[in-house]
């Protein structure tokens, strides 16, 4: 098996029928990586910048720690996988305006930070059954971006339905029920009950009792 060399890169791109913000929100949420990765099965945050992933493929099971090194909303998201404190591999997601309005051009890039040691080559050959690492990695990248495309487009459809629900039902509910309640019940209550009370009871009291007191007691006949 020919080893991957330091600084060697591979990438895959696709057009996504979803807004840039939707695609970026997906690829920058590392807890969702298992949804599209061919190897990662679980991810847990260690802190704001670091996370741990559990990976499984064929007979191989392993754990890795990674650190987010770049996070530019609506543009670029990148993290490096660490081994013994050093950078091992880097994964980058670039989102750009697509060919059509409202679409996104997504590119996922893999960079090998160090040359693969013999121990890793042996592990991949014996437990992952990988004979050609470059071909295998390119196939994984192609599968990854295809899955991200499918997930992002599904997220976009859910977002469109949610906004429509709020626009058609939520606002209408406030407008037809809420305001009506205030207008028909609240104001009426103030108008019919509150003012009436003041007018019929309060003023009457002042007029019938207060003036009478003044007239009968304050101003002797």
9-16, strands of its sheet edge to edge: 9-16, 104-112, 86-97, 76-83, 60-72, 50-57, 40-45
The model scores a pTM over 0.75: no
Q: How confident is the model at residue 187 (pLDDT cuts 50, 70, 90)?
A: very low
Does any domain span residue 99? yes
Q: How confident is the model at residue 139 (pLDDT cuts 50, 70, 90)?
A: very high
Q: How confident is the model at residue 4 (pLDDT cuts 50, 70, 90)?
A: confident
Q: For residue range 85-137, what is the model confidence (pLDDT) as tens digits? A: 899 999 999 999 999 999 999 999 999 999 888 888 888 888 888 888 899 99
Does any domain span residue 170? no
Residue 109: give its domain's CATH number.
Answer: 3.30.530.20
Does any domain span residue 197? no
Does any domain span residue 186? no
- The sign one gets for the Cα dihedral 142, 8, 124, 70 is negative
Q: How confident is the model at residue 164 (pLDDT cuts 50, 70, 90)?
A: low
CA distance to 140, 175, 193, per residue, from 72 (Å):
25, 39, 59
Residue 145 has pLDDT above 50, yes or no: yes
- Which residues fall within 8 angstroms of residue 155, CB to CB, at 6 or more apart? 18, 22, 25, 26
- Residue that is written with structure tokens 């007239």 in the block: 215
Q: For residue range 29-56, what is the model confidence (pLDDT) as tens digits? A: 999 999 999 999 999 999 999 999 999 9
Task: Kindly state the tokens that stand for 131.
Answer: 């004979």
CA–CA separation, 214 and 221 (whole Å) = 11
**Which residues span the domain enclosing 15?**
9-160
CA dihedral 35→40→45→47, nearest 10 degrees, is -130
Does any domain span residue 171? no
Does any domain span residue 218? no
Cα–Cα–Cα angle for 138, 109, 55, rounded to 5 degrees: 70
Domain count, the chain: 1
């Amino acid at each position: 098996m020919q080893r991957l060399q330091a600084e060697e890169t591979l990438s895959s791109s696709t057009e996504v029928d979803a807004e840039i913000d939707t695609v970026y929100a997906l690829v920058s949420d590392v807890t969702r990586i298992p949804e599209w990765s061919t190897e990662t099965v679980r991810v847990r945050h260690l802190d704001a910048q670091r996370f741990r992933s559990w990976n499984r493929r064929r007979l191989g099971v392993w754990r890795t720690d990674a650190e987010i090194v770049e996070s530019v909303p609506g543009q670029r998201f990148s993290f490096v996988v660490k081994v013994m404190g050093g950078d091992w591999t880097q994964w980058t997601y670039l989102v750009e305006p697509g060919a059509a309005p409202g679409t996104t051009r997504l590119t996922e890039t893999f960079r090998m930070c160090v040359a693969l040691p013999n121990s890793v080559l042996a592990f991949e050959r014996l437990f992952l059954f990988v004979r050609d690492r470059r071909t295998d990695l390119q196939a994984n990248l192609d599968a990854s971006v295809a899955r991200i495309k499918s997930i992002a487009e599904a997220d976009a459809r859910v977002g469109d339905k949610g906004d429509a629900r709020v626009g058609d039902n939520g606002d209408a509910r406030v407008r037809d029920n809420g305001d009506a309640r205030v207008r028909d019940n609240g104001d009426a209550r103030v108008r019919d009950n509150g003012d009436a009370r003041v007018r019929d009871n309060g003023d009457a009291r002042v007029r019938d009792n207060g003036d009478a007191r003044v007239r009968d007691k304050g101003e002797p006949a």
